[in-house]
Amino acid sequence: MSIDKNKAVDERPTREVSITVNGEEITSEIEPRIKLSDFLRYHANLNGVRVGCEHGACGACTVSVNGDLVKSCLMYAVQTDGDEILTVEGLSENGSLHPVQQAFHESHALQCGFCTSGFVMSTYDLLTDNPSPSREQTKKHLSSNICRCTGYQNIYEAVDRAAENISDDESLKLEDN
Amino acid sequence: MKPAAFEYHLPDSVSEATRLLAELPEAELMAGNQSLGIAMSNRVATPDHIIDINGLTELDYLDIGDKKIEIGAMVRHRDMEKSSALTEAFPILSISAGKIAGPVVRNRGTLGGSIGEADPGGNYPSVLVAMGGEIELLSTDHTRTVDATDYFTADTTDSINENELIKCARFSKKPFPSHRTGMAFLRKKEAAQSWPIVSVASAVRVADPTHQNPVIEEARVGYANASDVPLRLQSVEAAIEGEPISEQTLRTAGERAYDEVQPQSELHADKTYKRELACELTKRVFRRSYDRATAEPIVV
């Protein structure tokens, strides 16, 4: 009954999965133990997905699965077979920053930048449901993410700026996915 | 921080899941994976087989009736938090669900996962013991129902058998008629990701909410992280029953809570601090429950 944990990698059980990442379908043969975060980084080559704590505390690996934010280090890629995933790389269009990214840039809402893609995804998710959040709502919604540089003030200001930019320009309205 | 190798099973029915559990006694059930995933990342858990029960849509239901409230094990915290029907009928479930970790964890974490983890700091366990909830367990050959107070036996230890899975949690609505019951859930914790230092769940039912000083007919209170199991304290409940709320009855309730909780010291909070927290939160949670029992409409 026991899996021989000393077995060579190519002898362990694998599964084929097809996952649509930022609109592109990726088919890959993977071990069930491969975390979604590692799948996105090493199979989809999307290094915007950051691997921080790897146990669900820091939020750096936050992505959207079928429209819901998840910590991708607490899902296994096999679980997302057939699903649609959005990472921070999927936000920008035609080489220009998404308004949330633009607002983070303008507000200097990052210091080391490691947590930024997770915060951008949480902000995107917040503004999709609530285009003009109060500061309290913003704090609550971003409570799944940690900035170890403690740059929260500028991050909250970036959320406000993104909300303003989006509400000023109808064409920037977020899709409610 | 990478889990050990495992074989993955994705049943699409409860009967297939229980069959797999019977065949693979060492397997772990995986629901939202917000706690098991941490244990696997740290290799505290190295299961050979994972039975992923996210496909069991038959366990993803809210059954909100006049006489009972039943929540399927695969209901996510988020769905309990955001259900207006549940908020109206049994608000403490929505309130306590909404106070679990941050929103991203609540998107995945489930009622059944939290009950199965049986952490004495968990929100639902304290609600279950305070409100007299019961838990239904299933296996290939039987179904059984366990009172919450018998279910939680020690720190992260419960009375579920290896071949069983959690079907649902159930509460009688009878002691908690909405129009004269108030419920509240308060806790002290340092960050969204951390466990509460202490949290308290309560309900208060008054005789006549339109009376100027409504008499409390019945009170319930449950504590998380105040013992090695979720703790209901009936002597604390008795302190405020039988008369309108007052500073005197609240003080007695708080003092009894201080004396009767059995907390462990932890890094950020020694036993005395946790006793003081239990005392203060008891007074506040009863006051808030009472205000809600007598307010119209119920404010959440």
Tell me if B96 sits within 8 A of B123, measured CB to CB.
Answer: yes
Spatial strand order of the sheet with A84-86 comes to: A24-30, A15-21, A84-86, A62-65, A68-71
- Same domain flag for A81 and A127: no
Q: How far is CA B165 from CA B62, B75, B233, B234, in A?
A: 18, 14, 29, 30
Instruction: Identify whether A70 is part of a domain.
Output: yes
Domain end residue (candidates: A42, A60, A87): A87
Q: Are residues A121 and A77 in the same domain?
A: no
From chain B, the residues in CB contact with A15 under 8 A are 8
pLDDT of residue A12: 82
How far is A162 from chain B, CA to nearest CA, in Å?
Answer: 20
pTM of the model: 0.94
Residue A2 lies in a domain: no
pLDDT of residue B227: 95
Q: Are strands B62-64 and B68-72 parallel, antiparallel or unpaired?
A: antiparallel
A-B CB pairs within 8 A amount to 95
Domains held by chain A: number? 2
Domains and CATH numbers, chain B: 7-52 (3.30.43.10), 178-294 (3.30.390.50)
Q: Residue A173 domain-assigned? A: no
What value of ipTM does the predicted structure carry?
A: 0.93
Comparing CB atoms, the residue among B5, B46, B193 nearest residue A31 is B5
Question: What is the CATH classification number for the domain harbouring A144?
Answer: 1.10.150.120
pLDDT value at B72 more than 70: yes
| Domain match, A76 and A21 both | yes
In 3D space, the residue among A142, A168, B101, A57 whose CA is nearest the CA of residue A134 turns out to be A142
Is the same domain home to A58 and A105? no
- As a whole-number percent, the residues of chain A with pLDDT over 70 amount to 89
Question: Do A83 and A14 share a structural domain?
Answer: yes
pLDDT-above-70 percentage for chain B: 98
H-helix or E-strand spanning residue B153: strand B152-154
Please compute the mean of the pLDDT values over residues A117-143 and round it to a whole number. 97
Q: Is residue A36 part of a domain?
A: yes
Dihedral sign (CA A41, A44, A48, A49): negative
Let me know if residue A93 belongs to a domain. no
A117 and A73 housed in the same domain: no
Answer whether B282 touches A (CB < 8 Å): no
Is the same domain home to A78 and A107?
no
pLDDT bin (cut points 50, 70, 90) of residue B252 is very high
Same domain flag for A63 and A130:
no
Cα A48 to chain center, whole Å? 8
Residues 63-102 of B with CB under 8 A from A: 101-102
How far apart (Å, rounded) are the C-alpha atoms in residues A157 and A155?
A: 5
Same structural domain for residues A13 and A80? yes
pLDDT at A175: 58
Smallest Cβ–Cβ distance between A12 and the set B2, B5, B24 belongs to B5
Amino acid code (one letter) for B204: V
Say yes or no for a CB contact (<8 Å) between B102 and A59: yes
Contacts of residue B82, Cβ cutoff 8 Å, sequence gap at least 6? B94
Is residue A107, in this structure, part of any structural domain at all?
A: yes
* DSSP summary character for residue B187: E
Chain B closest CA to A141's CA: distance in Å?
A: 6
Burial zone of A152 (CB within 10 Å; 0-12 exposed, 13-18 middle, 19+ buried):
middle
Domain end marker among A87, A120, A135: A87
| Angle in degrees, CA B228, B184, B156, rounded to 5 | 20
Long-range contacts of A155-158 (CB under 8 A, 24+ apart): A155/A104, A155/A107, A155/A109, A155/A110, A155/A119, A157/A107, A157/A109, A158/A100, A158/A103, A158/A104, A158/A106, A158/A107, A158/A109, A158/A123
In a domain, A1, yes or no: no
Q: Is a pLDDT exceeding 60 seen at residue B45?
A: yes
Q: Are residues A83 and A107 in the same domain?
A: no
Range of the domain at A54: 9-87
Distance of CA B266 to the CA centre of its chain: 22
Q: Is residue A132 part of a domain?
A: yes
The answer to whether residues B135 and B145 touch, using CB atoms and an 8 Å cutoff, is yes
* pLDDT, tens only, A54-91: 999 999 999 999 999 999 999 999 999 999 999 999 99
**Whether residue A65 sits in one domain with residue A121:** no
Paired tokens of B300: 């959440």
User: Which band of pLDDT confidence, cut at 50, 70 and 90, is reported for residue A5?
Assistant: low
> Residue A44 belongs to a domain with what CATH number?
3.10.20.30
Q: Which residue in chain B is spatially nearest to A6 when comparing CA positions? A: B5
Mark yes or no for CB contact A33/B42 under 8 Å: no
| Dist. CA B263–CA B98, nearest whole Å | 24
| Domain end position, chosen among A30, A65, A87 | A87
What distance lies between CA A87 and its chain's CA centroid? 5
| CB-CB neighbors (< 8 A) of B6 in chain A | 3, 32-33
Return the ∠ at Cα B298 (arms to B293 and B300), rounded to 5°: 110
Say if residue A77 is in the same domain as residue A111. no
- Cα–Cα nearest to B222, from B137, B145, B149: B149
Indicate if the pLDDT at residue A160 is higher than 70.
yes
Write out the two tokens for B283.
């007074």
pLDDT tens, B99-147? 999 999 999 999 999 999 999 999 999 999 999 999 999 999 999 999 9
Q: Using CB atoms, pick whichever of A54, A74, A143 lies closest to residue B192.
A: A143
- pLDDT > 60? residue B188: yes
Residue of B nearest to A55 (CA): B38
